[in-house]
């Protein structure tokens, strides 16, 4: 029994550390810092200044051509988010909530790992399914419209 508790505590520590450092911390840096985790000056990190979109904001001196280029970059940035980190965090929180609500206890270490793995796979596969069968067509349509507009501007 003591060994089982020790193993569960070790699993919780490892999973908690992974979720916090690889998940929450790095996701927050990507969402708020222009260079994500590689940002040197943390004073530029704020809401709305994330890695995928901070360099593509509208400015008053943008030309039609530069605006089209920024829209195109934003369109292609959508699928560059590191989705597995989000699903790592969500699977951890979902597992804890499921056990607390349904069984009114925390999961053991092995239950935590197994449940997180299943929930992670379900979220990740569902995301990729919709990305492939839905979102990519929107991205392609926007790209074609932007090419058409760029030709009209020339």
Q: What residues contact residue 22 under an 8 Å CB cut-off, 6+ apart?
A: 85, 88
What is the value of pTM for the model shown?
0.83
- 7-61 pLDDT tens trace: 888 988 999 999 999 899 999 999 999 998 899 999 999 998 999 888 898 999 9
Exposure string over 110-149, b if 16+ CB within 10 A, otherwise e: ebbbebbeebbeebbeeeeeeeeeeeeeeeeebeeebeee
What whole-number distance in Å separates Cα of residue 25 and Cα of residue 83? 14
- 63: region left, alpha or beta (phi > 0 left; psi from -120 to 50 alpha): beta
- 51-108 pLDDT tens trace: 988 889 899 999 999 999 999 999 988 788 889 999 999 999 999 999 999 999 999 9
- The domain ranges of the chain are 2-153
């Amino acid at each position: 029994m003591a060994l089982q508790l020790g193993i569960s505590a070790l699993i919780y520590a490892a999973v908690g550390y992974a979720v916090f450092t690889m998940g929450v911390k790095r996701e927050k840096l990507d969402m708020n810092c222009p260079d994500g985790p590689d940002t040197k000056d943390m004073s530029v990190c704020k809401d709305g200044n994330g890695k995928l979109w901070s360099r593509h904001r509208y400015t008053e001196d943008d030309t039609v051509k530069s605006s089209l280029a920024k829209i195109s970059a934003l369109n292609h940035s959508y699928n560059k988010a590191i989705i597995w980190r989000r699903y790592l965090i969500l699977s951890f929180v979902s597992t804890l909530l499921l056990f607390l609500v349904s069984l009114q206890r925390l999961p053991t270490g092995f239950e935590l790992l197994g449940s997180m793995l299943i929930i992670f796979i379900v979220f990740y596969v569902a995301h990729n399914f919709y990305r492939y069968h839905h979102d990519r067509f929107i991205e392609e349509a926007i790209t074609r419209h932007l090419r058409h507009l760029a030709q009209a501007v020339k």
